[in-house]
A and B are shown apart, each in its own frame.
Chain A
Amino acid sequence: MEDQDPLLKFPQPSPSIRVQKDMIAVAALERDAELMLRVRDGDTESFTLLLNKHRGPVIHFLYRMVQNQAVAEELAQEVFLRVYKSRANYEPSAKFTTWLFRIASHLALNHIRDSKNERTQDSIDESDDDGRTLQVADRGMTTEQAMVYQARLAEIRRAIRVLPEKQRAAVVMHKYQEMEYSQIALVLECSESAVKSLLFRAYETLRVRLAHMAG
């Protein structure tokens, strides 16, 4: 049935949708770039606006990468400090978030590589108790439900953790940050097809590892 499938020549999104998407992207690009240019000119208020907008996404990205809230916040501080320090040389050549997440992913990948031999898997698990406890409390679960949930969560986190670093970064950006392939490619400094390949392999691994959680 797949021999004559017309889906091989799958059409691109219709022009109207593409135009709308591009306009939103351009507006966001201009807004963040404009704020950063103001920061370059010494306007600290604009830095606060950028921080308020991107603080959450950056910390959540780093948290899912390093799986430790304290380390994630420490790395996020470094990200924003680097943004502030390099304000004088800022040129709006790329989307602000691409630049921001490139710094964040570099720091995260370096941290993962540096700490790979230093930290045992057990210590990583222990280090994230704070985050999990909060999630359980927020969901208003019984003790039994909380235990089941924590076990599932531990499996999900472990499944993500054992992915190769770049696959992990690609999945986190694709799933949680809802980034386009092109932007992930710019952040990870690789081609769009390489990103698609990274994601395909990562999701395939996750499908196998999390298959027993279905149903």
Chain B
Amino acid sequence: MSCPIYDESPDLLMDFAAGKLDWESKQRMDVHVSKCAICHEALAAQAMVWKALDEWDAAPVSMDFDAKLYARIETQHATVWGNLKSLLLPATTWFRWQPAIGMAGVGALFLAVFLLRTPAPAVHGDGVRMESHEIEQAELALDDVEMVDKLFAESKGEAQSL
């Protein structure tokens, strides 16, 4: 013997037992249960289970539950802020307790700024100047050579005339 409702729609039985069905569905179910031994037995068993489960009350909540929770939230805030501080503020702490290192750091910073702001010599202009100087020197050297040659030729001619 089987029942299609018990086999295929047991949730219908549960809803019926829990009084969750609307009036029309409840009427139909009343008629069915009065004829179906399987559903009748299942409903009685379900009612017994729920009655038993009803006996199990939950214990009352501790009085300090909220206080504990808010304390944990506060701790959470403090932890988050503490982590942020430890991430963001280690340098300032160091400066506070290590003034010499702090001062050295500031000094190094000033030196770096000074070096960066001092104008560097114009490399390109200097190069041009060096080049013109070299040409001048070469011209003077050629003049000297010409003069030596002239002197040498003159002295040679004087020797031949003698």
Contacts and interface: CB of A to CB of B under 8 A. Distances in A.
Contact of B5 (A5, A63, A130, A181): A5
Interface in B51-93: 52-53, 55-62, 65-66, 68-69, 72-73, 76
A55 B65 CA distance: 9
Nearest to B66: A51
Interface of B: 2-5, 8-12, 14, 21-25, 28-29, 32, 35-36, 45-46, 48-50, 52-53, 55-62, 65-66, 68-69, 72-73, 76
A140 interface: no
A82 B121 CA distance: 64
Contacts of B55: 149, 152-153, 156
Among B2, B14, B21, B76, the most chain A Cβ lie within 10 Å of the Cβ of: B14
B53 A156 contact: yes
A63 B49 CA distance: 19
Interface residues of A, number: 52
Contact of A213 (B9, B32, B52): B52
Secondary structure type dominating chain A contacts: helix
A60 interface: yes
Contacts of B45: 207, 211, 214
A164 interface: no
Interface string A71-91: 001001100110011000000
A210 B47 CA distance: 11
Contacts of B36: 1-2
Contacts of A64: 56, 58
A175 interface: yes
Interface in A78-136: 80-81, 84-85, 130-131, 134-135
